[in-house]
Amino acid sequence: MKRTNKVFRFFTKILTLILCLVTLCGGLLSAADADEGTPSIIVGNQRETVSLDGEWKYFTEEAGGEIPKALPADLVFEESITLPSYSNGVDQAERIWYQKTFFLVNEPTEAVILDFGTDIGATAVYVNNVKTEINIAPFLHAGENTIVLMRQRTEETEFYQSFTDRIEMIFSRTPVITSVSYQTDFEAGTVSFEIGLFNPKNQNLETDVSITLRDPEGNRKAFFVLEDVDVLQGSHTTASVSGLKIENYKEENIWNAAKPYLYTAEIVTSGDCYEMQFAFHNENLFGTEGFRYGTDLIVSEFFANEKNQGLAWQKEWITAFFKLIKEINWTVITYRGGNLPELWHEIALQEGILLVDKNEDAEWAQKQDRVWTKETDIAAKASEIKANDSDAVILPVLYQTADGFWSDIPMFSGVGMMRLKNIFSKDDGKNTQPQEEPSRGIITYFKEMLYKTFIRDNRYKLFLEGLGNTLLIAVASTGFGVIIGMLIAIIKVWNHQRILAKKKNAFLYLLNFIAEFYTTIIRGTPVVVQLLITYNIIFVFSDQAVLVGIFAFSINSGAYVSEIIRAGINSVDKGQTEAGRSLGLSQITTMKSIVLPQAFKNILPALGNEFIAVLKETSVIGYLGVIDLTRAGELVRSRTADAFFTLLFVALVYLILVFGLSAVFKRFERRLNKSDRN
């Protein structure tokens, strides 16, 4: 009895530990959601932590806001309003917050607009004694949490990026997002997306496409993953997601008279990421078309205005651009708008590239015999080129609006680092050759990857959320699996005992048949299939993916645990059962008080192994869109474009968990063996 009491005390401690772990996991998830982290900004293609002191000078943007005295006296900051020309059915007076243009003069200067919760930024520079104008991303809105940051450019500030490095970096990430369109349902609180993907590689690719929706405070409101989207080599495809529902939509203050309630959509593939904002609109207030937030601005008025004699119009740079295009076998380039300087056309023809104006630039078309203006003519010529050159890829490249050139191609897709805003060398035009990036050592590489993997965009939160979900699902599933397995094992043992005693019981026989059928099905099918059946068939109307995952893994674990417990019960000497019954104890009491405590002591190592197996099996919960440890690593890997560091870290975390749990179980086992010897 003394040993039995010790065993029961041990299992009481185990259950208490499970409850504590579940509570801890919930706390980790809450902390990851609640902690907004330190604001950060994008400078070039690097994200920096915002420190509102030192070289960064700032002010909160308000109507008629003044320049703070902390800014240099010779730095002039002017503000003007640019009303969008593509708002349909909306009074422009109500949209004055929608887009702004900033002018910076006198000093080489960076300006970053920071909107907490969206981290959307834009940059302007002063080049060649000409005032440079840049349009802030149109989905940025003014408000209490919007801050303008400025700093003078110094030699230590690596503001410019070389053109060649920029292009190569973008093409190293595949497949890439070329376009995103959406449609909202105001009444239902749902949004549908169509995502254009392009594969510039010479091999077929497969990618997952994940969509995360967040409210203006950064809280996650929806998450969905399209699995295994095929993108054939050198071709486009479209990934569609319909009716993605906003969590607690009816409780949101989705609009007011001043501005719409903006949601952020984070779209991630295995090789690209894109961030956009959208708004549900009330038809009576904001018009039937709602708010459209076009693609990323790649060339500002600085590029489109020929009066600017900056680097953009130097022949060497334009030649370098088309040489890069030619190297990847793009032979037909189309654009919209007739303001592209003739120098671009001339150099394109020299490189054997067709530069086509899709808006029928008739005057230029008459001068050059190699330009087609109709869609059918372009398609026909593209087919002819493709037939003669199987490696050629025919794509639209440059799109132009009143605000400059806009992108509809993979070369300029994505958010932040995909914008071509820092593409020239920092010698103010004296040296037109792209600068070479210095070689990186192993220490520099690990420093960069530590920053990109954990610090940038507060990505450590993804790992915290993933670790919390992994532990929660593993602990809860194993706990429920032990309960299910115990019931199944007892049914099988009692039925076997009845058969040996030739005292058959019809009800017990039926229960045994169900138990045998259950264990056969579960042990004979993959856990991924069970998970998908549970989510897509049994709980098809549930959006609680974590709870569905716990249910599926509990059912799976219960089948294996039942065999472990049955073996443990059979390992207990039959004389123990006979002794209990001879003392007048019932069959249930004998099993509960005498047999099970001894059986659990014998099967503790096997139960520990089962828990470790469930912990590792939870890595497939990502099929339901749940961010577990593995899924978190995949999401971060898709954003850093580096599989080695991220996946190595995920594997290391799993290894630490397994070794730690194995050590704990071995310690408990030694203590129980020691108590037996005593």
What average pLDDT score do residues 595-614 get?
Answer: 86
pLDDT higher than 70, residue 497: yes
pLDDT higher than 50, residue 32: no
Question: Which superfamily does CATH assign the domain made up of 2-35+460-677 to?
Answer: MetI-like (1.10.3720.10)
Confidence of residue 596 (pLDDT cuts 50, 70, 90): confident
pLDDT tens digits, residue range 55-97? 333 333 333 333 333 333 333 333 332 323 222 332 322 222 2
Mean pLDDT for the chain overall: 61
Does an H or E element contain 78, and which? Answer: strand 76-81
Q: What is the pLDDT of residue 240?
A: 85
Q: Distance (Å, rounded) from C-alpha 214 to C-alpha 455?
A: 20
CATH topology of domain 164-295: Immunoglobulin-like (2.60.40)
Tell how many helices (H) and how many strands (E) occur in the chain.
Answer: 18, 20
- Higher model confidence: residue 362 or residue 559? 559
- Of 392-406, 428-442, 467-481, which range is least confident? 392-406
Q: Which residue has the tokens 């005292």?
A: 503
What stretches of 595-642 show up as alpha helix (H) in DSSP? Answer: 596-617, 629-640
Task: Name the amino acid, one letter, at 612.
Answer: I
Evaluated on CA atoms 352, 357, 363, 366, the torsion sign reads positive
Instruction: Return the structure tokens found at 9.
Output: 């005390």
pLDDT tens digits, residue range 655-674? 999 999 888 888 888 887 77
Residue 104 dihedral angles phi and psi, to the nearest 5°: -125, 130
pLDDT higher than 90, residue 242: no
Confidence of residue 557 (pLDDT cuts 50, 70, 90): very high
The order of strands in the sheet holding 132-135 is: 76-81, 100-105, 132-135
Report the percentage of the chain scoring pLDDT > 90.
12
Query: Which are the contacts of 515, defined by CB distance < 8 A and separation ≥ 6?
Result: 488, 491, 492, 562
Q: What is the pLDDT of residue 325?
A: 54
Predicted model pTM: 0.43
Confidence of residue 319 (pLDDT cuts 50, 70, 90): confident
Report the percentage of the chain scoring pLDDT > 70.
45
pLDDT higher than 90, residue 522: yes
Q: What is the pLDDT of residue 174?
A: 64
Tell me whether the omega of the peptide bond preceding residue 175 falls within 30 degrees of 0, making it cis.
Answer: yes
Q: Distance (Å, rounded) from C-alpha 145 to C-alpha 60?
A: 8
For the chain, the structural domain boundaries read 2-35+460-677, 40-153, 164-295, 306-407
Residues 364 and 302 sit within 8 Å (Cβ to Cβ): no
Q: What is the pLDDT of residue 249?
A: 65
pLDDT higher than 50, residue 30: no
Confidence of residue 517 (pLDDT cuts 50, 70, 90): very high
Helix 596-617 × helix 2-34 angle, to 10°: 20
What average pLDDT score do residues 113-139 get?
Answer: 33
Task: Name the amino acid, one letter, at 368.
Answer: Q
Confidence of residue 306 (pLDDT cuts 50, 70, 90): very low
Confidence of residue 271 (pLDDT cuts 50, 70, 90): low
Residues 364 and 371 sit within 8 Å (Cβ to Cβ): yes
Q: Distance (Å, rounded) from C-alpha 187 to C-alpha 241?
A: 18
